Amino acid sequence: MNSFNALGINAGRAICYSGFREGQQPGGKYPSYAEVREDLMLLHGHWKYLRLFDTDRHAETVLEVIQRENLDFRVMLGAYIEAEMNNFNCPWNSGVYTEAQLEANAISNERKISRLIDMGKAFPGIVFALSAGNEALVGWTDHYVPESRVMEFVRKIKEQAPQPVTFCENYSPWLDQLKHLPEEVDFISIHTYPVWEYKHIDEAIAYTRDNYNSVVSRHPGKNVVITEAGWATNSNGRGIDPGKVNEEYQKAYYEMLMEWSERENILTFFFEAFDERWKGSPEPLEPEKHWGLFHTNRTPKLAISDHLTVPKNPRQGV
């Protein structure tokens, strides 16, 4: 069992939140204050912790809404660092960049880390932890950043911000690839996705437990948080068998995950709150678009429809 009292973190329901709606995406049109407020009112009272992925305008709006509306949320805020080295092993062939782009990314990453620090300082009562990046070290990433560089970011954040610092990554690199980062971070953050690794729902929770326990065993005495775990509800076959994803399976995984993590006092962020149309390929059934507990139109899927006082969705896949 994990205790985060020394870090100022208590147990509670947690969810990943990215509020981009139809026609919105990072770097383009961002959700408005009213749209973010609508989202947070749906989540309020059901989830205590939110995870945000970047220091962009969306994160600014989320923190502003929480503060102005006096909502009972605590936020893990991350900086989405981009590629500083090419990854020729990226399976979808998008991990290779020009030297000029890599240099520009390195400058942008420095700014993002500085902004992360500033936002942590500006919202100390809301932001409870800071993450120096997301999935930038795993072998399949399209935005690879060397471990030594991530460690620089972690050290800079720890020197200047009051919150505990982590790095969010797939469980696998924490087992054998990362040699020094585990000791630098205040706690380890892992991602576990049984369905991406071809597991059936009957194997799902056992596989997640194994992922988590393997990292805990590898780093005794270190607190471990699950910052992503979820189950898609649609697939076009890209990386996930369509027969293994639907709302019934998402509901089953969600309930098993919550029961286990709450019993073991493991802070676990479910991925994710809302479907996001901008993600992945243009294919409507691209699995990246279908991880939300809510559809894009903000009506709940089966996993949570009995627990929320909002209208159920009369149509599927919206």
Nearest CA to 1 out of 230, 175, 11 is that of 11
pLDDT tier, 6 (very low <50, low <70, confident <90, very high otherwise): low
Q: What is the DSSP string of 230-257?
A: ---S---SSSS-GGG-SHHHHHHHHHHH
Mean per-residue pLDDT for 203-227?
97
Q: How many angstroms separate the CA atoms of 80 and 56, rounded?
A: 9
Which region holds residue 8: left if phi is over 0, alpha if psi is between -120 and 50, else beta?
left
Query: pLDDT at residue 2 above 50?
Result: no
pLDDT tens by residue, 110-165:
999 999 999 999 999 999 999 999 999 999 999 999 999 999 999 999 999 999 99
Over residues 158-173, the mean pLDDT reads: 98
Helix (H) or strand (E) segment spanning residue 192: strand 188-192
Q: What is the pLDDT, as a whole number, of residue 318?
A: 38
Instruction: List the structure tokens of 144.
Output: 């690879």
Which residues, in sequence order, are bridge partners of residue 52? 77
- Give me the chain's average pLDDT, please: 94
H or E stretch covering 270: strand 268-270
Q: Is-contact 7 261, C-beta < 8 A?
A: no
pLDDT digits (tens, 9 = 90+) for 58-79: 999 999 999 999 999 999 999 9
Task: Count other Cβ atoms within 10 Å, centred on residue 14.
Answer: 22
Mean pLDDT across 166-190 = 97
Q: Report the distance separating Cα 121 and Cα 242, nearest Å.
A: 44
Distance CA 248, CA 245 (A): 8
What integer is the mean pLDDT of 286-309? Answer: 93
Query: How large a percentage of the chain has pLDDT more than 70?
Result: 95
End-to-end Cα separation, the chain, in angstroms: 39
Question: DSSP code of 135?
Answer: S
User: What pTM did the predictor assign?
Assistant: 0.94
135: left (phi over 0), alpha (psi -120 to 50) or beta: left
Residue 306 pLDDT class (50, 70, 90 cuts):
confident
What confidence score (pLDDT) does residue 316 get? 40
Closest among 131, 17, 121 to 76, alpha carbons compared: 131
Domains and CATH numbers, the chain: 5-305 (3.20.20.80)
More confident residue, 134 or 308: 134
Q: What share of the chain in percent tops pLDDT 90?
A: 90
Which tens digit of pLDDT belongs to each residue from 235-268? 999 999 999 999 999 999 999 999 999 999 999 9
Instruction: Give the whole-angstrom CA distance, residue 7 versus residue 250.
Output: 31
